[in-house]
């Protein structure tokens, strides 16, 4: 009997024993194509020697030094590299161990910023429905996924949730994508006015929504208008690129493609590429200075922040992305994947939308293409697709929508950046076989 506490208590999981490129191997010798990189984690694939050597070398040199006393060479070098490529005036990097820690730190930094600025009445966070920012209490409060929040309601912070930018579902007839983008962004202004501008501290959003909406990119102009509204009311903009960042969408930071600069930016997953648990929160000089010139102490911290081995892994990963010119590869292979998905599923009666950027792609599953009605949640389409794909040797990331069943099911694909055309074809074949098993064949 296993003593590991698994996510699904009754699941009998195969034991992973190895990884090679885009493949994972279990103890029975079965091979699985890692079509979602875990959940957008394994961006360099498995067994990348440059990263494993960097991790081993750092372990031999220095495993740990507490950041209350000492910094370390890899943490300094990784911060320098990230800031050299970061959008806007992001100037400081706060290392953590994962995505929830990054968003949790961002929420606390935003709050402390306003306390230091002498505006302690600013404590309200505005976020979006159908979003995910992590599973710790603050991060979960920010997230808009009802299924994840449901039983923790009494513990959660009072966060406002506005509608996401969801062109496939919400753009009206006759409205251009740009017009829709502006209209969707104006929901932020309405909420600020509703709750009182003087009480709002920050707005948080994922530039390209991952887990809860399946690679949902914003309409053109959405984030520019969001930035304008934040500036107008003096509100901090926090972008959560935990899933969509680190090259996943074809630019090192996803927000670069929307011409928007955040005050605080969260990254994780692809930063360590699975070789080490690491995340980071980047903030602007103005935010940092408010603390540095105020109390001089960010009232936050965890034992493992800035871990030397984790930052050494992150340094090797980001260097690999940049030095191997993986960003252009992501854009190119992303087009190959999108084209293959459209060719295979474009006419499928249960495929409503195929979308995304770079190697971050989503398929929205619907019961009816014309009405866009989702499947009844009781049919558990996402869970069945996940199981069927896994049985056929494909790891992908099907998720069902909110608990009210409003937006149904989708499949998220986020394969390693090294995926080849042949492997993309295998991925699409396996997914097709799973779709046929669960939904029937496309005509
Ligand atoms: N933010 C986003 C956008 C995510 O997708 C996730 C995880 O899926 C998180 C935060 C939480 O990250 P972690 O699971 O590393 O705590």
- Put residue 109 in one of left, alpha, beta given phi > 0 → left and psi -120 to 50 → alpha: alpha
**pTM greater than the 0.95 cutoff:** yes
Sequence-distant (6+) residues with CB within 8 A of 188 are 126, 162, 203, 226, 229, 230
- Residue ID of nearest Cα to ligand 1 atom 1: 133
Out of 106, 133, 204, mutate this one to test ligand 1's pocket (max ligand atoms within 8 Å of CB): namely: 133
Indicate the DSSP class of residue 375. P
Atom of ligand 1 nearest to the CA of 268: 15
The full DSSP string for 379-397 is G-HHHHHHHHHHHTTEE-E
Q: How far is CA 304 from CA 96, 261, 271, 289, in A?
A: 7, 28, 16, 24
Which of 332, 391, 396 is closest to 365 using CA atoms?
396
Q: What's the chain's length in residues?
A: 443
The pLDDT score that the predictor gives to residue 405 is 46
Integer-rounded Cα Rg, in Å, for the chain is 21
Predicted local confidence at residue 12, as pLDDT: 85
Residue 275 near residue 51, CB atoms below 8 Å? yes
| pLDDT tens per residue across all 443 residues of the chain | 788 888 778 778 999 999 999 999 999 999 999 999 989 999 999 999 999 999 999 999 999 999 999 999 999 999 999 999 999 999 999 999 999 999 999 999 999 999 999 999 999 999 999 899 999 999 999 999 888 888 999 999 999 999 999 999 999 999 999 999 999 999 999 999 999 999 999 999 999 999 888 999 999 999 999 999 999 999 999 999 999 999 999 999 999 999 999 999 999 999 999 999 999 999 999 999 999 999 999 999 999 999 999 999 999 999 999 999 999 999 999 999 999 999 999 999 999 999 999 999 999 999 999 999 999 888 999 999 999 999 999 999 988 865 444 678 999 999 999 999 999 999 999 999 999 999 986 55
Say how far residue 409 (Cα) sits from the centre of its chain: 18
Rounded Cα–Cα distance for residues 204 and 125 (Å) = 7
Residues 84-88: contacts with CB within 8 Å, 24+ apart?
85/252, 85/253, 85/322, 86/253, 86/265, 86/282, 87/253, 87/255, 87/256, 87/260, 87/261, 87/262, 87/265, 88/261, 88/262, 88/284
**Nearest by Cα to 241 from 223, 229, 221, 219:** 223
Residue whose CA lies nearest to ligand 1 atom number 15: 99
Ligand 1 mean position, distance from CA 441 (Å): 34
| Cβ burial 119-156 (10 Å sphere, 16+ → b, else e) | eeebbbbbbbbbbbbbebebbbbbbbbbebbeeeeeee
Is there an atom of ligand 1 within 6 Å of 34 CB?
A: no
Residue 229 tokens read as 């509204």
- The first and second tokens of residue 14, run together, are 């195969």
């Amino acid at each position: 009997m296993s003593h590991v506490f698994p996510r699904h208590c009754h699941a009998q999981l195969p034991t992973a024993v190895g990884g090679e490129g885009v493949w994972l191997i279990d103890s029975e010798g079965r091979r699985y194509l890692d079509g979602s990189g875990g959940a957008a984690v394994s961006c360099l694939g498995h067994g990348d020697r440059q990263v494993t050597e960097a991790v081993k070398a750092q372990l031999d040199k220095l495993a740990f030094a507490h950041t209350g006393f000492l910094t370390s060479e890899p943490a300094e070098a990784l911060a320098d590299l990230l800031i050299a490529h970061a959008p806007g005036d992001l100037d400081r990097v706060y290392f953590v161990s994962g995505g929830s820690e990054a968003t949790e730190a961002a929420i606390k930094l935003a709050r402390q910023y306003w306390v230091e600025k002498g505006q302690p009445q600013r404590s309200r966070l505005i976020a979006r429905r159908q979003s995910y920012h992590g599973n710790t209490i603050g991060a979960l409060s920010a997230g808009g996924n009802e299924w994840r929040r449901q039983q923790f309601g009494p513990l959660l912070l009072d966060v406002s949730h506005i509608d996401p930018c969801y062109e496939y579902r919400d753009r009206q007839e006759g409205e251009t994508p740009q017009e829709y983008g502006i209209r969707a962004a104006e929901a932020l202004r309405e909420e600020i006015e509703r709750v009182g501008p003087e009480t709002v501290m920050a707005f948080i959003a994922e530039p390209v929504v991952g887990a809860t909406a399946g690679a949902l990119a914003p309409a053109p102009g959405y984030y520019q208008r969001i930035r304008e509204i934040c500036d107008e009311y003096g509100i901090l903009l926090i972008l959560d690129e935990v899933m969509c960042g680190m090259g996943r969408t074809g630019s090192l930071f996803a927000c670069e493609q929307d011409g928007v600069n955040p005050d605080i930016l969260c990254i994780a997953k692809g930063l360590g590429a699975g070789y080490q648990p690491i995340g980071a929160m980047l903030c602007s000089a103005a935010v940092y200075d408010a603390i540095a010139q105020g109390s001089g102490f960010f009232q936050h911290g965890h034992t493992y922040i800035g871990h030397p081995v984790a930052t050494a892994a992150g340094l090797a990963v980001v260097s690999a992305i940049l030095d191997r010119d993986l960003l252009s590869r992501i854009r190119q292979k992303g087009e190959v994947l999108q084209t293959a998905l459209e060719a295979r599923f474009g006419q499928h009666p249960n495929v409503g939308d195929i979308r995304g950027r770079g190697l971050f792609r989503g398929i929205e599953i619907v019961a009816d293409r014309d009405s866009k009605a989702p499947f009844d949640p009781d049919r558990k389409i996402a869970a069945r697709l996940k199981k069927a794909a896994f049985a056929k040797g494909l790891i992908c990331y099907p998720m069902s929508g909110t608990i009210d069943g409003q937006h149904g099911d989708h499949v998220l694909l986020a394969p390693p950046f090294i995926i080849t055309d042949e492997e993309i074809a295998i991925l699409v074949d396996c997914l097709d076989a799973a779709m046929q098993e669960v939904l029937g064949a496309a005509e």
